[in-house]
């Protein structure tokens, strides 16, 4: 099956995740328009399809892509926490962005922790001006500029091994519901990429805790690995 190419700098967006003590952590992502364009470019507009269905209190998305070599569709699934697509149009876009990761677009999960000075104006307008990857689709060079084109962050190659890691799970010091929910989804996608996970239980885990965090918030660190291990243990008992 044809592989999706690496992301270009112009296709990557940045959003602020945690602002504390005069510093801001930025998280790289691609929007649904870029994800759709990548699928069109790689497989053709007529050769992929995205479907949604409501199951209990969650929305499931299925991305199907036609494999010319095998002469059949290959699909991946992911879920969100809302049961009404019309209530939250962004949910459909969010599911597509997560699904494309499952077809190999995983390079943003190798991004280093990006910390810049808090600009005091919402920390928007930042862009990726340069990006390079190694043979394993991992980021090895990254430069970020502000809205005026001034460099504000440069990845240090000497510290790449220490810095290049998945988005960290937020603690109480940068506790906000959106950031914690996103961290749960990111960690769940990494679990999928590792392979061997019970996908039905992983989906239930994500749906349960995203709803819980959205409703009640979360105090302290969200210990994804520990909570997931306990969940899987109970499910297999």
| Nearest-angstrom CA–CA distance, 72 and 62 | 15
Share of the chain above pLDDT 90, in %: 38
- 34-38, 43-47, 167-171, 207-211: the lowest-pLDDT one: 167-171
Is residue 48 assigned to a domain?
A: yes
Is residue 189 assigned to a domain?
A: yes
Quote the pLDDT of residue 202: 85
**The model's pTM:** 0.64
Q: How many domains does the chain have?
A: 2
Mean pLDDT, to the nearest integer, of 9-16?
95
Residue 230 pLDDT grade (very low, low, confident, very high; cuts 50, 70, 90): confident
Quote the pLDDT of residue 236: 76
| Nearest-angstrom CA–CA distance, 75 and 117 | 41
| Residue at a domain's end among 66, 95, 124 | 95
Tens-place pLDDT, residues 22-73:
999 999 999 999 999 999 999 999 999 999 887 777 778 899 999 998 999 9
| Nearest-angstrom CA–CA distance, 65 and 193 | 18
Most confident region among 112-126, 156-170, 215-229 by mean pLDDT: 112-126
Mean pLDDT, to the nearest integer, of 196-221?
83
In the predicted structure, residue 158 carries a pLDDT above the cut 90? no
Q: Which domain holds residue 74?
A: 44-95
Quote the pLDDT of residue 159: 44
**Alpha helix (H) residue ranges in the chain:** 32-43, 89-101, 160-163, 177-194, 199-216, 224-236
CB 37 within 8 A of CB 31: no
Contact partners, residue 61, CB within 8 Å, separation at least 6: 50, 51, 52, 77, 78, 79, 80, 92, 95, 96, 99
| Nearest-angstrom CA–CA distance, 111 and 28 | 8
CA atoms within 13 A on the CB side of 118: 10
Quote the pLDDT of residue 14: 95
Ordered DSSP codes for 17-37: EEEETTEEEEEEE--HHHHHH
SS3 76: strand
In the predicted structure, residue 128 carries a pLDDT above the cut 60? yes
Most confident region among 76-90, 123-137, 153-167 by mean pLDDT: 123-137
User: How high is the mean pLDDT of the chain?
Assistant: 82
Residue 210 pLDDT grade (very low, low, confident, very high; cuts 50, 70, 90): confident
Quote the pLDDT of residue 160: 43
Is residue 156 assigned to a domain?
A: no
Ordered DSSP codes for 159-182: GHHHHB-SPPPP-GGG--HHHHHH
In the predicted structure, residue 148 carries a pLDDT above the cut 50? yes
In the predicted structure, residue 166 carries a pLDDT above the cut 50? no
Q: Which class for 35: exposed (0-12), middle (13-18), buried (19 or more C-beta within 10 A)? A: buried
Is residue 153 assigned to a domain?
A: no
Is residue 115 assigned to a domain?
A: no
Q: What share of the chain is helix, strand, coil (3-state, %, to 5)?
A: 40, 30, 30
Is residue 39 assigned to a domain?
A: no
Among 154, 151, 182, which Cα is nearest to 168's?
182
Residue 85 pLDDT grade (very low, low, confident, very high; cuts 50, 70, 90): very low
Is residue 111 assigned to a domain?
A: no
Is residue 145 assigned to a domain?
A: no
In the predicted structure, residue 197 carries a pLDDT above the cut 80? no
SS3 220: coil
């Amino acid at each position: 099956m044809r592989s999706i190419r690496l992301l270009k700098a112009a296709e990557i967006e940045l959003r602020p995740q945690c602002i504390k003590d005069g510093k801001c952590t930025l998280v790289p992502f691609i929007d649904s328009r870029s994800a759709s364009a990548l699928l069109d470019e790689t497989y053709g507009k007529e050769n992929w399809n995205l479907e949604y269905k409501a199951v209990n209190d969650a929305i499931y998305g299925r991305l199907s892509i036609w494999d010319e070599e095998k002469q059949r569709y290959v699909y991946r699934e992911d879920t969100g926490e809302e049961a009404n697509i019309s209530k939250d149009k962004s949910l459909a876009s969010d599911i597509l962005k997560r699904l494309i990761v499952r077809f190999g677009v995983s390079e943003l999960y190798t991004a280093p922790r990006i910390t810049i000075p808090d600009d005091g104006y919402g920390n928007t307008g930042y862009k990726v001006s340069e990006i390079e990857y190694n043979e394993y689709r991992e980021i090895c060079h990254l430069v970020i500029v502000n809205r005026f084109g001034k460099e504000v962050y440069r990845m240090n190659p000497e510290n790449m091994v220490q810095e290049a890691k998945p988005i960290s799970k937020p603690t109480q010091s940068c506790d906000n519901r959106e950031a914690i929910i996103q961290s749960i989804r990111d960690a769940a996608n990494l679990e999928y990429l590792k392979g061997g996970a019970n996908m039905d239980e992983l989906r239930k885990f994500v749906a349960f805790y995203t709803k819980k965090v959205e409703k009640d918030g979360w105090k302290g660190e969200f210990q994804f690995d520990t909570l997931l291990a306990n969940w899987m243990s109970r499910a297999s008992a």
